[in-house]
Amino acid sequence: MTTPIAVTIAGSDSGGGAGIQADLKTFAALGVYGASVIAALTAQNTRGVTAIHDVPADFITAQMDAVFSDLAVGAVKIGMLSQPAAIEAVAAGLARHRMTNVVLDPVMVAGSGDRLIADDAVATLRRALIPKALVITPNLPEAAALLDTAVAASETQMRAQARELLALGARAVLIKGGHAKGAEAVDLLIEPDAETRLAATRVETSNTHGTGCTLSSAIAAGLARGQPLAEAVRGAKTYITAAIAAADKLSIGHGHGPVHHFHSLWREQ
């Protein structure tokens, strides 16, 4: 039996709720072996980010070559890449190792509001990395930043922005409506010839740290298990909704706590 393997390329969250740590928890919860390439270190907790230490591009390359030359990787999730050199290194590594099941979460700002990407890195992300993605998963502010436009205020505008992002070279766009208002949290999966609307009842909680990381890594886990993209996205939406709904069962930190990655596995405390 082949063991499904997914790799996360992202920043480390010392508080454990987002980034590499959230990705590996998600892979484990969904029955996928997780490996990692750390692109940045953050000093971070539930209250915010106090420092970022970027990993040199050549060491990112060394990690990628070590992992991809040995493991049979089924999918790659990419998160925080804060500098142009890191983005270029990752793009080159994906091409060198012929990775196609790539989920790109264009992380720009932490849930606490702290900026996680240099201004000059956004253009590099658009040019070098988006065309290598099977799917990109921007939230509403990230989609607006990538397109240098206003944040979408309706599903019609979300759909239009997703189509513009498709034109940058990604094969699909999952534009996430978690930052919108209303009783439902609506995401739209836009492919060149298909659209999928994914809606869930909005959960009222302040413990949403790591939601974007968790959703994108859940999609990668589905792809690693051999699921088609739309099926992987539906499963990931179900998983993240349940993880948010169970978040208040945890008591972590004094700020915005994490979602509950192991909601279906941990016994009630």
Query: CA-CA distance, 170 to 251, in Å (whole number)?
Result: 38
Q: What is the pLDDT of residues 81-99, one digit of tens each?
A: 989 999 999 999 999 999 9
Residue ranges, the chain, pLDDT below 70: 109-116, 179-182, 268-269
In this prediction, residue 29 carries a pLDDT of 98
Q: Domains in the chain, start-ordered, CATH in brackets?
A: 5-249 (3.40.1190.20)
Q: What is the pLDDT of residues 26-59, one digit of tens each?
A: 999 999 999 999 999 999 999 999 999 999 999 9
Question: How would you class 186 by CB atoms within 10 Å of its CB: exposed for 0-12, middle for 13-18, buried for 19 or more?
Answer: middle
In this prediction, residue 267 carries a pLDDT of 79
In this prediction, residue 112 carries a pLDDT of 55
Residues recognised as catalytic:
176, 208, 210-213
In this prediction, residue 110 carries a pLDDT of 59
